[in-house]
Amino acid sequence: MPVVDVDPDELRELTGARKADDELREDLFALGLEFEGWTDDEEMQLEFAPDRLDRLSVEGIARSLRYHYGDDRGVYVPSTNDAEWTIEVEDPPAERPYITGAVVRGLDFDADSLESLIQIQEKLHATMGRDRSKGAIGVHDLVALKGEPGTGGEKSIRYTSMAPGDERFVPLESDEEMTPRAVTQRHHMGSEYAELVADMDAYPAIYDDIGLFSFPPVINGRRTEVTEDSRDLLIEMTGTDQWTIDRMCAIVCYALEARGARVERVDISYAAGTPGEYAGHTLDRPDFEVRTKRVSHDRIESIIGVEFDHATVVDCAERAGLDAEPDTDDEGTVYEIQIPPYRVDLLHPLDVIDDIGRAYGFNDLEPRYPDVSTVGGRHERSRLEDAARDALVGLGFEDLLNFHMISAAENYDNLGIAPGDDVVGGGEPVSIREPYSEAYTMLRTWALPSLLMVLENNTHRAYPQYLSEIGLAARLDETETTGAAEHRTVAGVLAESGISYEDARARLQGIAAAFGKTLETPPTEHPTFISGRTAEIVLDGNVVGVVGEIHPEVLVEHGLEVPVAAFEFRLDGLA
Amino acid sequence: MQLPHAQVAVLRAADAETDRPITDIASDADLQPETATRAAFELDESGLLAVRDCEEETVSLTEEGAEYVREGLPELRLYAAALDAGAADGSVPLGDVLSEAALDGDAVDIALANFARKGYGEVESGHVTVDGDAGPESDRERLALEALAADESVPDEQVLERLDGRGLVERNTSTVREVRLTDDGVTALTDGVEAAETVDRITAKLLTSGEWRDVEFEEYKVTADAEDITHGKEHILRQTANRVKDVLVGMGFTEMAGPHADAQFWINDCLFMPQDHPARTHWDQFDLDSPGQIQALPEELVERVRSAHLDGVGPDGEGYHSPWDTDVAKSLDLRGHTTSLSMRYLSGYQEGDLEPPERYFSVEKVYRNDTLDPTHLLEFFQIEGWVLAEELSARDLMGTFTEFYRQFGITDLEFKPHYNPYTEPSFELFGTHPETGELVEVGNSGIFREEVRQPLGVEADVMAWGLSLERLLMLIYGFEDIRDVHGTLCDLELLRNVEVMH
């Protein structure tokens, strides 16, 4: 979940509410922002669910608090000035066809507000921007830019592509003029994002009249770096989806506008023949369009479980930063809900109902047990499993619970078998792609390896150790839709000096009798067991498993100094 | 005086002059040691015998101690070799002396340290001198070791401590129980005691012959501890799972079952998780290498789910601006939650179409690529439950879950509005810890979004919740490290001693 660092003094200034730290923390908790602790700079670390991305900055959180306090109500859309600048989209890489932008003027940065601008970029990159792959933000000092003369005499910059080795510029945090390729190879920030352009023949590039100033999504040029002295900014965002970068842009513009800046529109002019959906079109940005959704009064009441009058619904919507207009006819009342552009999380009318519920106060609702009657019951397999477990426990077994994931060495090698062997446990593995731990690379094909590992880890504990487990085992099987055959397996080990095959056979007899099955144990060979002391388990004529004395090689491999008799069979053999 | 048979035998075997070990008494009296012990305590209570426990120390040589008995203490070997080399008259090179004494490795340090401590001489700048009058033949440590090797006792406590400190001896104390006749006991024996007709074990003969009517039953010490028995026992987490299943079945829920290795379609796509959602990277879930893809998915359902992702649901719905690829939907994972089962059941794919009202649950394994720590495992049990009914509200959800948690002693449930991609509204559930009184997270819940329900063809409302079984167990039992309980690193001792769940 996202975490933002917020200076409580800034929150007090931006909300205008003189609240003590602990009052602030309570108010923030009510909004779903959990206080996680203090940073070294005495800022609050606030964690929240990743839906309200408009709260990724102190400005956004302050806005939510002002609605919460009732200081603000309803939808707010900043006014914007006419465009002076155009972004000409000429020939961007097909892998990254989209750009958006805005000009923001009249900023008065200090260290805190500049820090906040950097934080919101980082947080948006990490969330909506999907680590810059879907959307990447570049912020530039407008003073350092020289517009190319455009078609209407206005100033323009160009979003296009460049050959990785041809162009040269000085990237941020460097004094050296480098090619974009060199930036991806040896610049400490550039190399971090090299992967995003690794498959591109030509790299994304943004030029002004002076030359290259941004290499999205990797790094900006140093020439246009924003400092505390910057007053006017050009914001550009490139990405793989226009909607996503437009929303990111709206969130950033709202945050800067809350600091007293003025937003100025920018024309995005996609040339004919550019990749993507907007070839030949000009977009007016930032996109502050207010969306509408229609929500029925009945649905609000049925989801929240409370009867409302219209005024309460409108009041709750306004306190959530939305506008609601009731429209009543014979069918009932429907509200037309206005949604500001920064609310990227409201996809469906149900999301609006949630906002109304939060404003109303879900925790004030009286719980009620639903008057709905159903008949419950256990799954047949789970009942069989329980009955078998009861039988094992009655025979003196200590029931265990082990992981289904295991390593190939533990599953096969340490028991003397190999994948593909035609013996119990010899199935081909259901294996994990790029496993992080050598201990967990596949699903076990049988449970006996798990029990032997428990014996190995408990040699210091009192004997006898009669252990059993009923659990999942799986192997590849093309006849299954998923390609994996999963079954429940029953495994038992008897570890004690003097134990032998007969002790395991005796317990199997007990289980078979309990389930009304005929048990036969014809001799067989299995590398895990001692030859001549190994048998197939045949229940009612079906071969379902194996029983025997564990081979000394396997015992020694597991560091055991007592004999072990063991069995393993399919649970459905008892059905 | 009439006494039970065992008491008479013990009394006769005991002596008034010396303390005798109970084991000797038992063998003289031809009794099992525990029978003799019991009888001795009974006699002690009636004042005829005095029982006392005395500590007895045994000192034995360690392997290293035994070696020094054979080869000599390293410092003495050093002394002897140095003396031979003429170190009593002037310093000689230490290296030569060490090799002459055949000392190497740790033995060198041991030799030098003790040589200096005992004042046998001095070592300086790689040269050694010895005190010719030091008299190593009366070295107390050497004499003590030799005495121990000959099974003699060593009364010198100081030397024993020193040898113990050097790791050359092992000192064990054991308790020996001894008895002695008291004056009353002597008097009783003199006056004459005889065995009463008492019976220890009941036999078949005793019962069938009717003799039981005439005998006296020996009195047992019923307050004494008996021997421990290791018994079969259901795993504590299974007990917890069964307790949860009982509660849910009682509340009208039916159990689900389904695959652990499943298509991302059922695990994520049906749940309206965008395919570029950060939690869907392979860092968080276990993708399978083989098998790679599911062989079949219901095509119409796939199309409806795809459309919900891209365009949303209903006239005012919006979709995600995220890529959607059927190959991703088909790829197989170990399920990260059992909500994949809920999707299979709600779609009708698992057991046919469902008509509201229905309640379903499962308590089954899920797999998450978390960091292993005392509270997180790579696989754990998820309790999953949902209710399908017309017009369910947040209040119905709160009422249902309040009732569920109340069964486990968790009251004062709080519902904190939350965000899940697949439910709206959503609530994190917090409850008061029954032991510590802290407010802790106990689950996550919500009402399924229309983007989840509509593609599945579900028209009624569905409310659902989930929590980890291990978390519930840890709350109830106060376990600190779940790895002691679940998995091959489990501690049998802990599992044997843990209280049962009821």
pLDDT digits (tens, 9 = 90+) for A4-57: 999 999 999 999 989 999 999 999 988 888 899 999 989 999 998 888 999 999
Q: How far apart are CA A365 and CA A441, in angstroms?
A: 47
The terminus-to-terminus CA distance of chain A in angstroms comes to 46
Of A50, A363, A402, the CB nearest to B415: A363
Q: Helix and strand tally (H, E) in chain A?
A: 14, 27
Nearest Cα to Cα of residue A493 among A514, A464, A472, A471: A464
Q: How far apart are CA B417 and CA B413, in angstroms?
A: 13
Of A432, A457, A481, the CB nearest to B288: A432
Fold of A291-361: Phenylalanyl-tRNA Synthetase; Chain B, domain 1 (3.30.56)
Q: What is the mean pLDDT of residues B227-245?
A: 91
Across the interface, do B425 and A353 touch by the CB < 8 Å criterion? yes
Q: What is the mean pLDDT of residues B393-417?
A: 90
Query: Residue B139: CB partners within 8 Å, gap ≥ 6?
Result: B73, B76, B118
With beta carbons less than 8 A apart as the criterion, state whether A539 and A512 touch. Answer: yes
* Chain B contact set for A435 (CB, 8 A): 286
Kind and range of the H or E run holding A537: strand A529-539
With beta carbons less than 8 A apart as the criterion, state whether A139 and A276 touch. Answer: no
Across the interface, do A382 and B254 touch by the CB < 8 Å criterion? no
Q: What is the mean pLDDT of residues A555-574?
A: 97
Query: Which is more confident, A556 or A30?
Result: A556
In the prediction, which pLDDT does B283 show? 67
With beta carbons less than 8 A apart as the criterion, state whether B286 and B279 touch. Answer: no
Across the interface, do A436 and B399 touch by the CB < 8 Å criterion? no
Q: Helix and strand tally (H, E) in chain B?
A: 20, 20
Kind and range of the H or E run holding B469: helix B469-477
Q: 């660092």: which residue's tokens? A: A5
In the prediction, which pLDDT does A470 show? 98
% of residues, chain B, pLDDT over 90: 39
Across the interface, do B396 and A358 touch by the CB < 8 Å criterion? no
For testing contact with chain A, the best of B227, B331, B488 (most A CBs within 10 A): B488
pLDDT digits (tens, 9 = 90+) for A409-443: 999 999 999 999 999 999 999 999 988 889 999 99
A420 backbone dihedrals φ, ψ, rounded to 5°: 95, -15
Least confident interval from A295-299, A456-460, B160-164? B160-164
For testing contact with chain B, the best of A133, A303, A364, A571 (most B CBs within 10 A): A303
Q: What is the DSSP string of A87-118?
A: EEE-S--TTS-EEEEEEEE-----HHHHHHHH
Strand partners, A87: A157, A268
Alpha helix segments (H runs only) across B93-235: 94-100, 106-117, 140-149, 157-165, 183-191, 204-209
Query: Is there a common fold for A3-69 and A291-361?
Result: yes
pLDDT above 90 (res A400): yes
A264: tokens are: 């100025």
* pLDDT band for position A172 (cuts 50, 70, 90): very high
Q: How far apart are CA B202 and CA A354, in angstroms?
A: 75
In the prediction, which pLDDT does B477 show? 76
In the prediction, which pLDDT does B373 show? 76
pLDDT digits (tens, 9 = 90+) for A220-256: 999 999 999 999 999 999 999 999 999 999 999 999 9
Q: How far apart are CA A224 and CA A234, in angstroms?
A: 9
In the prediction, which pLDDT does B264 show? 96
Sign of torsion over alpha carbons A45, A49, A53, A59: negative
Count the alpha carbons within 13 Å of B390 in the hemisphere toward its beta carbon: 1
* pLDDT band for position A150 (cuts 50, 70, 90): low
Of A345, A399, A432, the CB nearest to B234: A399
With beta carbons less than 8 A apart as the criterion, state whether A196 and A93 touch. Answer: no
Q: What is the mean pLDDT of residues B242-267?
A: 96
Across the interface, do A304 and B393 touch by the CB < 8 Å criterion? yes
Nearest Cα to Cα of residue A253 among A229, A289, A218: A289
CA B365 to chain centre: 21
Please tell me which residue of chain B has the smallest CA distance to A363.
B415
Across the interface, do A398 and B230 touch by the CB < 8 Å criterion? yes
B432: tokens are: 């008061």
In the prediction, which pLDDT does A153 show? 56
The terminus-to-terminus CA distance of chain B in angstroms comes to 52
pLDDT digits (tens, 9 = 90+) for A317-371: 999 999 999 999 998 999 999 999 999 999 999 999 999 999 999 988 999 999 9
In the prediction, which pLDDT does A433 show? 93
Across the interface, do A430 and B290 touch by the CB < 8 Å criterion? yes
* pLDDT band for position B438 (cuts 50, 70, 90): confident
By CB atoms closer than 10 A (0-12, 13-18, 19+), residue A368 is middle
pLDDT above 70 (res A151): no
Distance, in angstroms, between A407 CA and closest chain B CA? 12
* Chain B contact set for A245 (CB, 8 A): none
Query: Residue B152: CB partners within 8 Å, gap ≥ 6?
Result: none
Nearest Cα to Cα of residue A105 among A212, A284, A287, A259: A259
With beta carbons less than 8 A apart as the criterion, state whether B120 and B126 touch. Answer: no
pLDDT digits (tens, 9 = 90+) for B121-134: 888 888 888 887 77
Q: How far apart are CA B363 and CA B256, in angstroms?
A: 9
Q: What is the DSSP string of B317-376?
A: ----SS---HHHHHBEEE-SSTHHHHHHHHTTTTTS---SSEEEEEEEEEE--PPPBTTB
Full set of structural domains in chain B with CATH: 2-59+174-217 (1.10.10.10), 80-138 (1.10.10), 238-260+336-497 (3.30.930.10)
User: Distances from the Cα of A546 to the Cαs of A485, A526, B152, in angstroms?
Assistant: 19, 8, 57
Across the interface, do A347 and B358 touch by the CB < 8 Å criterion? no
In the prediction, which pLDDT does B441 show? 83
Of B242, B312, B490, the CB nearest to A454: B490
* Chain A contact set for B498 (CB, 8 A): none
Radius of gyration of chain B (CA): 39
Nearest Cα to Cα of residue A537 among A571, A567, A506, A563: A567
pLDDT digits (tens, 9 = 90+) for B4-53: 888 888 988 998 888 898 888 888 888 888 888 888 988 998 899 999 88
Q: What is the mean pLDDT of residues A52-81?
A: 94
Strand partners, A253: none
DSSP code, position A289: P
Of B322, B392, B417, the CB nearest to A362: B417
Count the alpha carbons within 13 Å of A12 in the hemisphere toward its beta carbon: 13
In the prediction, which pLDDT does B219 show? 78
Least confident interval from A346-355, A531-540, B64-73? B64-73
CATH code for the domain defined by A3-69: 3.30.56.10
Across the interface, do A243 and B321 touch by the CB < 8 Å criterion? yes
* Chain A contact set for B259 (CB, 8 A): 482, 484, 486
A118: tokens are: 């950097």
Across the interface, do B257 and A32 touch by the CB < 8 Å criterion? no
Of A134, A367, A457, the CB nearest to B488: A457
In the prediction, which pLDDT does B422 show? 95
Across the interface, do A368 and B399 touch by the CB < 8 Å criterion? yes
Nearest Cα to Cα of residue A537 among A514, A563, A507: A507
Distance, in angstroms, between B247 CA and closest chain A CA? 10
% of residues, chain A, pLDDT over 90: 92
Fold of A80-285: Phenylalanyl-tRNA Synthetase; Chain B, domain 3 (3.50.40)
pLDDT above 80 (res B69): yes
Amino acid at A212: L
The helix/strand/coil state of A243 is: helix
What mean pLDDT, rounded, does chain B reach?
Answer: 88
With beta carbons less than 8 A apart as the criterion, state whether A308 and A297 touch. Answer: yes
pLDDT above 60 (res A303): yes
In the prediction, which pLDDT does A482 show? 96
With beta carbons less than 8 A apart as the criterion, state whether B177 and B51 touch. Answer: yes
Across the interface, do B235 and A401 touch by the CB < 8 Å criterion? yes
Q: What is the ipTM of this complex?
A: 0.92
A273: tokens are: 């023949």
Q: How far apart are CA A237 and CA A266, in angstroms?
A: 12
Count Cβ neighbours within 10 Å for each residue of B227-256 and write b for 16 or more, e otherwise: eeeeebbbbbbbbbbbbbbebbbebbbbbb
Least confident interval from A19-28, A542-551, B367-376? B367-376
Beta strands in B82-168 (DSSP E): 92-93, 121-124, 127-130
Q: How many CB atoms lie within 10 A of CB B147?
A: 16
In the prediction, which pLDDT does B67 show? 87
Q: How far apart are CA A425 and CA A423, in angstroms?
A: 6
For testing contact with chain B, the best of A29, A195, A347, A467 (most B CBs within 10 A): A347
* Chain B contact set for A398 (CB, 8 A): 230, 232-233, 492, 495-496
Sign of torsion over alpha carbons A60, A65, A71, A76: positive
CATH class of A380-574: alpha beta
With beta carbons less than 8 A apart as the criterion, state whether B386 and B342 touch. Answer: yes
Sign of torsion over alpha carbons A321, A323, A326, A331: negative
Domain ranges of chain A: 3-69, 80-285, 291-361, 380-574
pLDDT above 60 (res A152): no
Please tell me which residue of chain A has the smallest CA distance to B264.
A482
Amino acid at B497: N
Across the interface, do B290 and A50 touch by the CB < 8 Å criterion? no
Distance, in angstroms, between A403 CA and closest chain B CA? 5
Count the alpha carbons within 13 Å of A498 in the hemisphere toward its beta carbon: 2
Please tell me which residue of chain B has the smallest CA distance to A245.
B321
The helix/strand/coil state of A375 is: coil
Q: How far apart are CA B388 and CA B464, in angstroms?
A: 9
In the prediction, which pLDDT does B81 show? 85
Phi/psi region, residue A532 (left: phi>0; alpha: psi -120 to 50; beta: rest), is left
Radius of gyration of chain A (CA): 34
Q: How many CB atoms lie within 10 A of CB A355?
A: 24
